Amino acid sequence: MGYVHLAGLIKIRRLATVWGTALGVALVLAYATPAMAAGSYTWVAANGLASATCPQLASSGSGQYMLCGNIGGNLFTSDDYGANWTEQVGSSSQPWSGVAVSGDGNLMYAVAADNLLWKSADHGVTWTSSVVPGTSFIEKLAISSDGMHIIMADSGNTGVVFKSQNGGTTWTSFTPTASASIISLSMSGDAQHMAIAYLGDMVYTSSDYGVTWTPQTGIGTHDWTTVNVSQNGQHFAAAAGDGTIVKSADYGMNWLPISIPGAQYWNGIVISNDGQTLIASQYFFDFGSLSTTGDLYRSDDGGVTWSPETGVPADSGWSPVAGSADRSRLAARAINGNQVYVGTNPAMIPAPPAPQPSGQAGQDGSATASITDAKAASAVSVPNTGVEPADNRLPIVIAITAAGLALGWTARRLRNVRV
């Protein structure tokens, strides 16, 4: 018996190992590095809101459907990304204090500083109301992407949060702290991650669908004005009137301060799913001169650098911003002039999926795929919850890297095969 020295296989082994590993590493880096937001927003004045005052705005996951909480009048809705608005005369004239929209835009909710929850299941065309037991002065609310999970703050019950997990059919209540009033609430698209900001107290967070709550003592006590949770639940942001802005990139566990030199009086903040884009609204009323000031500020690098947003009136004072889950589409109200502006950043809008021969694309908020065989045909509806889909690149990366290494190992074994 002798040995066959396979020089060619040695070369194959080396090349396969090097290129397989290199390709795998390159794909790992591509997988791990989030895409940076780019481009600028184009802002236009919304149509149809001349008779409305909209300090409360809410948006569906894609931004196509929006809701305006008009003060002392009917609700207004938009189904074209905020460009045009329609007064919903069946919604009742109320001092609306809070609004929310589901991921697909079908379910809409509104509250008006009493004990009623108003709900629409047809994109805001028709509305019904129901009493929330134990409440007297509901002011704020937040909902999940499917519209089934709801949390609300009632000023008649200091610090108490009312929660429903079935679209408002039944309710429970809990009290993270009874020492302060709730100023803002937010939750992730799946409702697992929640945040509550208390005026003159702390921000409380939950990672178990609101069962247990943790005070974020590390960021201190402030006169918080707003808190926001990204749709995927990973990123949190909170702001206060004294200029404090903080953010978390690990589901609310750890927080970092954000500095915008010389800026304060924050009235609202939103953060994107990748944590890179933040929009902060500023509002200050000078009782001496009876004037309103403040700008919209934007960051595209996770809050490292900021600049006033261009394309909208400067120093106009701004209500909290609403927008799509990826923050490619926004709506904000300039308090001076009482005008809602709609912003679109084309560079941030995801590319549409490639058409599938066997299916058809649904309208915003849903996708419909047709499955056909020789015996039967059926349709499967998959709702878009506004939460980013799971990324399937990692298994491919691992497979390619493993294949390269395996080929190299096989060549090494074959180098000294007995013949």
**Does 82 reside within a domain?**
yes
CB distance 227 to 270 below 8 Å: no
**Does 402 reside within a domain?**
yes
Which domain CATH number covers 320?
2.130.10.10
Considering the domain architecture, whether residues 26 and 47 belong to the same structural domain is answered as no
Considering the domain architecture, whether residues 257 and 140 belong to the same structural domain is answered as yes
Residue 407: count other Cβ atoms within 10 Å of its Cβ. 17
Report the distance separating Cα 402 and Cα 256, nearest Å.
38
Locate tokens 């018996």: which residue? 1
Task: Write down the pLDDT at residue 415.
Answer: 41
Task: Write down the pLDDT at residue 357.
Answer: 53
**Does 1 reside within a domain?**
no
Considering the domain architecture, whether residues 281 and 369 belong to the same structural domain is answered as no
Considering the domain architecture, whether residues 25 and 68 belong to the same structural domain is answered as no
Considering the domain architecture, whether residues 107 and 202 belong to the same structural domain is answered as yes
Residue 404's domain comprises: 7-33+358-414
Q: Tell me the CA distances in angstroms from 344 to 2, 330, 347, 377, one per residue in order.
A: 73, 7, 9, 39
Considering the domain architecture, whether residues 22 and 137 belong to the same structural domain is answered as no
Q: Mention every residue, 6+ apart, whose C-beta is less than 8 A from residue 158.
A: 178, 179, 180, 181
Task: Write down the pLDDT at residue 388.
Answer: 37
- Per-10-residue mean pLDDT of the chain, 419 residues long, equals 41 43 40 52 97 96 97 96 96 94 98 95 97 94 98 91 97 93 97 97 97 96 97 97 96 95 91 96 92 95 95 96 95 96 93 59 33 29 37 44 44 40
**Does 349 reside within a domain?**
no
Report the distance separating Cα 347 and Cα 245, nearest Å.
26
**Does 293 reside within a domain?**
yes
**Does 144 reside within a domain?**
yes
Q: What total number of domains does the chain contain?
A: 2
Task: Write down the pLDDT at residue 355.
Answer: 65
Considering the domain architecture, whether residues 162 and 232 belong to the same structural domain is answered as yes
Write out pLDDT tens, residues 154-176: 988 889 999 999 999 999 999 99
Considering the domain architecture, whether residues 51 and 193 belong to the same structural domain is answered as yes
Return the closest-CA partner of residue 100 out of 115, 111, 84: 111
